[in-house]
């Protein structure tokens, strides 16, 4: 098996990069619609992205608006499409053409920043477990939200997502939420450079893609190795 280092793809929070975008709890570059007065609960739900399906082609993608202080970057933080994708530049989409990307599609969109409009893309990425070999992957039961967590059990395996979900609920209720299940070794069925993990809904990118982003000078990105040092392998 070949070890592949993966990183969580995060938005930059460097104010020198993204601008002074803080406004109450909406700390995103893209925060609202140009016609915000027309936003109701139905519209909010359509663009909120609370599920893990692909973004619909039927939505109007021309009315997104940034915070007045936002700086345009190649990856834009947003309050929209939380589990479904991210706003990216043409430069980033072009870079991805040379890499293996799982369960994704690209949509055109328009972003208004300081009365000027920009043509951007939305990279829609769907969480999938099809590329994860659960039977060969290894999990552990560990104390949650503490600096020196107790490990209750290690070497735990599952045959299906349903089994993992059932055990996750069982551990949560038996320990009053003090323990959780997390992966320590994940086996991939095939090599990939970007995917959204069904295990935690994080967008993960390979080290070679991370390095290419940094070499290309693309902005708005932040990368984080898993704090639990989850290992990814190509089987």
Average pLDDT along the chain: 88
- Closest Cα partner for 197 from 151, 137, 143, 153? 137
Is residue 234 within 8 A of residue 188, CB to CB? The reply is yes
Q: What are the sequence ranges of the domains in the chain? A: 2-128+192-234, 138-188
pLDDT tens digits, one per residue of 12-50: 999 999 998 875 556 899 988 999 888 788 887 888 866
What span, in angstroms and rounded, lies between the C-alpha atoms of 1 and 234?
6
CA–centroid distance for 74 within its chain: 15
What order do you get walking across the sheet with 138-143 strand by strand? 2-4, 231-234, 179-188, 138-143, 151-156
Question: Which residue did the predictor score with more confidence, 185 or 228?
Answer: 185
Lowest mean per-residue pLDDT among 66-70, 127-131, 166-170: 127-131
pLDDT tens digits, one per residue of 110-120: 999 998 999 99
φ and ψ at residue 47, rounded to 5 degrees = -100, -5
Taking only the tens place, the pLDDT of each residue in 46-101 is: 888 666 678 888 899 999 999 999 999 999 999 898 778 899 999 999 999 999 88
pLDDT surpasses 90 at 107: yes
Please report the pLDDT score of residue 226 as a whole number: 61
Whole-angstrom distance, CA of residue 202 vs CA of residue 17: 22
Minimum mean pLDDT among 22-26, 83-87, 181-185, 219-223: which range? 22-26
Measure the CA–CA gap between 164 and 179, rounded to whole angstroms. 14
Contact 194, 148 (CB under 8 A): no
pLDDT band at 230 (very low <50, low <70, confident <90, very high): low
Token duo for residue 96 = 């991805």
Euclidean distance between CA atoms 93 and 109, whole angstroms: 13
The pLDDT > 90 percentage for the chain reads: 53
- Least-confidence region, from 120-124, 144-148, 162-166, 214-218: 144-148
CB 95 within 8 A of CB 216: yes
Phi, psi of 121, rounded to the nearest 5 degrees: -125, 155
Burial-class residue 114 by CB neighbours within 10 Å (0-12, 13-18, 19+): exposed
Q: What is the pLDDT of residue 190?
A: 82
Helices marked H in 81-199 — which ranges? Answer: 90-96, 161-174
**What predicted TM-score, i.e. pTM, was given to this entire model?**
0.85
Question: Residue 228: its pLDDT value, please?
Answer: 43
> Lowest-pLDDT range, 114-118, 145-149, 176-180?
145-149
């Amino acid at each position: 098996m070949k070890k592949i280092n993966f990183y969580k793809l995060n938005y930059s929070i460097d104010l020198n990069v993204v601008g002074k975008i803080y406004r109450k709890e909406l700390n995103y570059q893209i925060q609202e619609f140009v016609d915000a007065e027309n936003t109701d609960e139905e519209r909010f739900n359509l663009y909120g992205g609370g599920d893990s399906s692909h973004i619909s082609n039927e939505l109007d993608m021309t009315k997104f608006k940034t915070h007045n202080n936002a700086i345009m970057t190649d990856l834009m933080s947003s309050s929209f499409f939380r589990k479904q994708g991210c706003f990216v530049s043409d430069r980033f989409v072009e870079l991805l053409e040379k890499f293996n990307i799982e369960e994704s599609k690209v949509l055109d969109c328009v972003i208004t920043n300081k009365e000027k409009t920009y043509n951007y893309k939305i990279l829609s990425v769907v969480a999938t477990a099809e590329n994860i070999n659960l039977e060969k992957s290894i999990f552990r039961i560990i104390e949650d939200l503490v600096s020196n967590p107790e490990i209750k059990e290690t070497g735990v395996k599952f045959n299906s997502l349903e089994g993992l979900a059932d055990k996750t609920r069982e551990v949560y209720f038996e320990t009053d939420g003090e323990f959780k299940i997390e992966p320590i070794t994940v086996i991939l069925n095939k090599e990939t450079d970007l995917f959204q993990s069904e295990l935690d809904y994080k967008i993960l990118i390979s080290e070679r893609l991370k390095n290419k982003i940094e070499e290309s000078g693309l902005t708005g990105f932040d990368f984080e190795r898993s704090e639990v040092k989850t290992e990814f392998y190509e089987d």
